[in-house]
Structure 1
Amino acid sequence: MPASLFMSNIFTVSSFALEGESQIEQVRLAVPTTDDPTLPALTCRVWILGITGCIILSFITMLTTFRQNPVNIPEFSIIMLCYSLGKLMAAVLPAKVVRVPGTKIVFSLNPGPFSLKEHILCCMIANNGLGASPAIDILAATKAYFRRSIHPVAVFLLLLTTSNISCGFIGFFMKFFVNRSEMWWPEILPMVTMYRAFHEKEERSKATLPRNKFFFLVFVISFSYYTIPGYFFPSVSALSFVCWFWKRSITAQQIGSGYNGLGIGSFGLDWSTVSGFTGSPLMFPFFVIVNTMVGFILFMYIVVPFAYWSNSFKAKTFPIVSTEVYDNYGGRYNMSRVLDESNFQFKQEGYENYSKLYLSITRACSIGFGLASLGASLTDIVLSHGR
């Protein structure tokens, strides 16, 4: 789910409960049916923590987007960091009233204890930095491969429009995706429970650690462990016994490699390898995990091998797993032969004299299934809710 929609779905789930008991048992157990209108909400702490967090997360997201195994920053970490920083600001900031010069806007630097509503709003703003716009690939390719710059206004409009496509779809199909109580988001409920755990009264024995100390302990351990696969031994992100036993076999490398093959018999000690593409497996219901695994097995272990070893679209000329673009000789595609670098125009004659553009079979199938999933979503809406 896009990061920009993350917190909005918390309010969506909550709205079901406030209107009445939800039909979903998990929602009834996690989401309270009460509200305290006296709690402070849109305070200066929200703006400071939310905007700062969004900027930092945007930087980290862009920095790690181009990794082969993307780094997944869980929302739980953001929730805990915002809570800790919010409590710190509530403890150290003076309760001073500030007026914005030239306006009638007045606010307090410290309106009191850090509230649940402030916490949710902080995370709502900060989480917008988690999702990278799909247009980043266009900008990166234009800059890295074609050595060309795009006007900042055009870049801004491109990022703005592509980033809001998902919000536009949600607006079109709000009746089906948002307003229906059956359309609940399982990954949101643990976060709702976590918010409640932080702000409701904690009952613990003296022998147990407070939540903040436990978080920082886990944070230090996690950060220390990540330095092993992240910096010192990156190879532990994908270990393959098949590749170890048959080092000189190209077929074995294609089957067993976790980086450039099907990954059969390989495993990883890097948590980002496990959660980088599907999210945390602890947050999703069993039927979702099974559905994902069935789709993965059909795609990666049936469709791709059959298409590759049957040499569909000259697949055996190219690596089985790759994001590169190739010519019909199996080499990297020479863009300078089909693009006029002086005006960035396509050269039809050069293209006809050179080669068609080829992708690896995994990349081609991935793009095809991705486009098909959009049509499948619309078809499901028409067939299931077309009345």
Structure 2
Amino acid sequence: MARLNMRRCPQSRNPSSEKIIDFYAGDYEVNDSPIEQVKLTVPITDNPSEPVLTFRTWVLGLTSCALLAFLNRFFSFRQNPLSVGPVAAQIIVLPIGRLMASTLPTKVYQCPLTKWRFSLNPGPFSVKEHALITIFAGCGAGGVYAVHIVIILKAFYKRSLHPVAALLLAQTTQLLGYGWAGLFRKVLVDSPYMWWPQNLPQVSLFRALHEEQERPRGGVSRLQFFIIILVSSFAYYTVPGYLFPSLSALSFICWIWTDSVTMQQIGSGLNGLGIGSFGLDWSTVASFLSSPLAFPLFAIVNMLIGFILVIYVMLPIAYWTNIYDAKRFPIFSCETFDYSGQVYNVSRILNQKTFDLDVGAYNSYSRVYVSVLFALNYGLSFAGLVASLSHVALFDGKHIWQTWGNAKSESEEFGDVHTRLMKKYYDPVPHWWFHACLITSIVFSLIACEGFDKALQLPWWGFLLSVAVSFIFTLPVSVITATTNQAPGLNVITEMIIGYLYPGRPIANVTFKTYGTISTNQAISFLSDLKLGHYMKIPPKSMFIVQLAGTIVASSFCFGTAWWLLESVENICDKNLLPEGSPWTCPGDDVFYSASIIWGVVGPGRMFTSAGNYPEMNWFFLIGLLLPVPGWYLARKFPTTKWLGKIHWPIILGATSKMPPTRAVHFWSWGAVGLFFNYYIFRKYKTWWARHTYILSAALDAGLAFMGVFLYFALQGNNIEGPHWWGNSNGDHCPLATCPTSPGIKVEGCPVF
């Protein structure tokens, strides 16, 4: 047992005046983390004797996981989707865990015929149990991307799918990435430069909830601060969530020029350029781009540069010069259109018997068109993905190679204080655990693709190719995520690859995209959780078991909820057949459906070649490959000019990749909050920033989530709507912003030019 000493650690930069308990025999540990935010947030202490995988962990963790999977999938079908994050469970389970610790029997039980002994109550509710329960909850809150396939098949294409095939699809797409995580964990978890900034709010909140603190004179403790912000956020969300929804997007220009399409296109924060638009709602700030308080400053700046270049330079030039007949369509839309400016009628070009493209019908109908922003975003996605490879190779390649060599040699000097402590007390996860998960997932994926009358349309070679694409991109995408909090998406490149190789089959396309994209995303999620466990000093084997169990449970409940609603709600997702005011409009699934038309039914050969409308978008591949080179050269040429090394082209190019559903008002609100806290407050009041910023982020998220759930189940779920007045609209009062401006185009509700 390690020796217990009470002493102050002079190397720690923690600005609080608390004494640190050092649980190690030997000399002081030096906080040699190279990342200042980590030094300010993560303690360098541990108690290896704390309980971890206990009865309390399993009961509270599995319950939280299942409940959040149900709630988030349920709300995602509704017009105003609500995302309940793991922070909500993180708050709720603390008093329950402490209650269980005070009431459950402490008797130790012996399992028959084994040496294994356990107790329902091994002692006080520990921070490590709390962290594992939160990771369980995070599995449920993360969603299951493959459910989109089930939704568009049944609700949009009106076709059947065997529930076993759907369940296998949901499970295997979520589990496949664990194999990649096992291969790269040495580089992406043990390396101190891979710091995963999104984990720091969680670490800060755990410390606030579990560490004893003295209240500063004239101030509040971190726990008191958290409770104050939580209650305030909970109370305030009554206003934008129920009484005054228009606060989420205030677009003043539209209120002045009520009859001008152009001015509403300029001023609308939801369907236009968003000049002068902002929101007074934390969900506007954080719902699509996540909390800006968890982003490093350079990432925020790069995001805003990319947003401004696209929305205020490229988009206006493209639209008002009428590139690609842009004025025939809305300036901001995710839908597909025909040449007359109407929403594309995909049923006219689908062979209903074979469920693939009817070429003759397509040639006699119309090419597929998209809004100019949607077209630009595809080109920028091409550039951003290639830029991710070249940027990581140039800026991080040498470090990754050295880190890999250090990891292979198990060098004692490798890593920082947190890596040394983890190696000292805890055994790593055996490689075969990851390999077994990978092989099992591949086998069941092949069964899902090749069996069940091949309803998923994807042949075996297509699945294996998607696995190869995911493997190639997992490392560079993970490096970018671990250092910037932004993950370049693989959806476009996967759609393009299978669209060229296997055109005319929409479900094959989205299935390939899901396997190729989500296995990488799941690897990133797993690695991020491993880093959280790294900071919290949780045994890696316990982390793996919790993440694996949580993923299986979350996938099952998420799929079950979706299947239940698809079978029980009449005309779900069909806005033309749903009664007026119905909430079951499936926002987000329409984007997925549009992508299946563009890349699957029509295919990139009829979109991005001379046979289509957008062949010039292919030049973005070359542009993305070359853009990081000048910045890398200048950063080496002028090493004292630090900002040159902060130019991050994958972030700049990918800034608007989530538009839509992200809108201009979300970017402006997110950027303003992020710059205020991570530039002004960080530099002027660093002690306050270190003590409170991440707790502020967690409290705002939790208050919003609790009030959102309360409003739905207490009022909105019972059809008790808010007061009927001007401010009770979910829009921004810019109805003309979605209108085309080309002469002769007729769209309902819009003037004809």
The answer to whether the 8 A contact 1:337-1:350 is kept is yes
Match of 1:358 in 2: 369
Deviations 1:171-191 (A, max 9, x none): 565565444322222332232
Render the CA deviation track for 1:135-187: whole Å, top value 9, x for unaligned: 33333222221122322233234334544576566556556544432222233
Change (3 A) 1:208 1:179: closer
Higher mean alpha-carbon deviation, 233-242 vs 202-211, is at 202-211
Secondary structure in 2 matching 1:191: helix
Do the aligned partners of 1:69 and 1:276 also contact (CA within 8 Å) in 2?
Answer: no
**Hey, what's the Cα distance between the residues in 2 that align with 1:258 and 1:366?**
18
Maintained 8 Å contact 2:214/2:221: no
CA 1:386–1:25 in structure 2 vs 1: closer, same or farther (change >3 Å)? closer
Determine helix, strand or coil for the equivalent of 2:293: coil
5 Å-filtered alignment, 1:172-321, equals: 174=185, 177-204=188-215, 218-321=229-332
Deviation at 1:284, TM superposition (A): 2.3
In the alignment, is residue 45 of structure 1 matched against residue 92 of structure 2?
A: no
In structure 2, C-alpha distance between the alignment counterparts of 1:20 and 1:352, rounded to whole Å: 66
Inter-CA distance 237–337: structure 2 relative to 1 (3 Å threshold)? same
Q: Counterparts of 2:310 and 2:81 in 1: how far apart (Å)?
A: 21
Query: What amino acid is the match of 2:292?
Result: P
User: 1:236·1:268 contact (CA, 8 Å) conserved in 2?
Assistant: yes
Residues 317-356 of structure 1 show CA distances to partners (whole Å, capped at 9, x for unaligned) of 1111112221111111111101133442321111111111
Look up the SS of the partner of 1:107 in the other structure: strand
Counterpart contact for 2:71–2:84, Cα < 8 Å = no
Partner of 1:110: 121
Q: TM-score, normalised by structure 2?
A: 0.45
> Does residue 147 of structure 1 match 2:158?
yes
> CA-to-partner distance for each residue in 1:52-96, whole Å, 9 max, x for gaps?
112222223223446787645455444323323322322333335
Change in 2 beyond 3 A, CA 1:269/1:248: same
**Hey, what does 1:92 align to over in structure 2?**
103
- Aligned mates of 1:348, 1:317 — CA distance in 2: 25
Show CA shifts across 1:107-154 (max 9, x none): 322222110110111111111122233333333222221122322233
Equivalent position of 2:615 in the other structure? none
Q: Aligned equivalents of 1:354 and 1:251: distance in 2?
A: 30
Q: CA 1:253 to 1:173, structure 2 compared with 1: closer, same or farther past 3 Å? A: farther
The separation in 2 between residues aligned to 1:184 and 1:69, in whole angstroms, is 34
Kept in 2, the 8 Å contact 1:61–1:130? The answer is yes
- The aligned amino acid for 1:184 is W
Could you tell me how far apart the structure 1 residues matched to 2:180 and 2:381 are? 16
* Alpha carbons of structure 1 residues 19 and 229: separation in structure 2 relative to 1, 3 Å: same
Residues 4-62 of structure 1: per-residue CA shift (max 9 Å, x gap): xxxxxxxxxxxxx9897222233233223332111000011111221211222222322
Counterpart Cα distance in 1 of 2:92 and 2:189: 29
- Could you tell me which residue of structure 1 aligns to residue 65 of structure 2? 54
Counterpart amino acid of residue 141 in structure 1: I
* CA distance, structure 2, for counterparts of residue 344 and residue 99 of structure 1: 58
- The aligned residue for residue 91 of structure 2 is 80
CA distance in 2, matches of 1:18, 1:74: 34
- Partner SS for 2:152: helix
Higher-RCO chain (CA-CA 8 Å, sequence separation at least 6): 2
- The 8 Å contact of residues 30 and 192 in structure 1, kept in 2 or not, is answered as yes
In the alignment, structure 1 residue 36 sits paired with structure 2 residue 51? no
- Unpaired runs of at least 5, structure 2: 1-27, 399-753
Q: Tell me the CA shift for residue 314 of structure 1.
A: 1.8
Whether the aligned pair in 2 keeps the contact of 1:71 and 1:272 (CA below 8 Å) is no
- Aligned partners of 2:87 and 2:134 also within 8 Å: no
Q: What displacement does 1:214 show?
A: 6.7
The whole-number CA distance in structure 2 between the counterparts of 1:39 and 1:174 is 24
Is structure 2 residue 350 aligned with structure 1 residue 329? no
- The residue matched to 2:395 in structure 1 has which SS? helix
Q: 1:95 to 1:278 in 2, by over 3 A?
A: same
Partner Cα separation in structure 2 for residue 84 and residue 115 of structure 1: 12
Q: Distance in 2 between matches of 1:377 and 1:171?
A: 21
The residue matched to 2:325 in structure 1 has which SS?
helix
1:132 is matched with 143
| 1:368–1:244 distance in 2 versus 1, CA, 3 Å | same
Residues 209 and 346 of structure 1, relative CA distance in 2, 3 Å threshold: same
Provide closer, same or farther for how the CA distance between residues 157 and 299 of structure 1 changes in structure 2, counting only shifts above 3 A.
farther
Query: Secondary structure of the equivalent of 2:333?
Result: coil
Letter in 2 for 1:283: A
Shift of 1:277: 2.4
Structure 1 residue 383 corresponds to structure 2 residue 394: yes
Letter of the structure 1 residue corresponding to residue 57 of structure 2: V
1:263, CA displacement in angstroms? 1.2
* CA apart distance, 1:100: 7.5
Shift of 1:287: 2.0
Q: Distance in 1 between matches of 2:355 and 2:29?
A: 56
- Amino acid of the residue matched to residue 247 of structure 1? T
Long gaps (5+) in structure 1:
1-16
Q: 1:166 to 1:288 in 2, by over 3 A?
A: farther
Cα gap change, 1:61 to 1:228, in 2 (>3 Å): same
CA contact (8 A) 1:69 1:273 kept: no
Instruction: Using the TM superposition, give the Cα deviation of residue 369 of structure 1 relative to its aligned residue in structure 2, in angstroms.
Output: 2.5
**Mapping of 1:17-36 within 5 angstroms?**
21-36=32-47
Judge which range, 291-300 or 129-138, deviates more: 129-138
CA distance in 1, matches of 2:212, 2:152: 51
* Distance (Å, rounded) in 2 between the aligned partners of 1:114 and 1:369: 48
Instruction: Give the Cα separation in 2 of the matches to 1:252 and 1:66.
Output: 32
Aligned alpha-carbon RMSD (Å) = 3.2
Moved more, 121-130 or 21-30: 21-30
What is the TM-score with the length of structure 1 in the denominator? Answer: 0.83
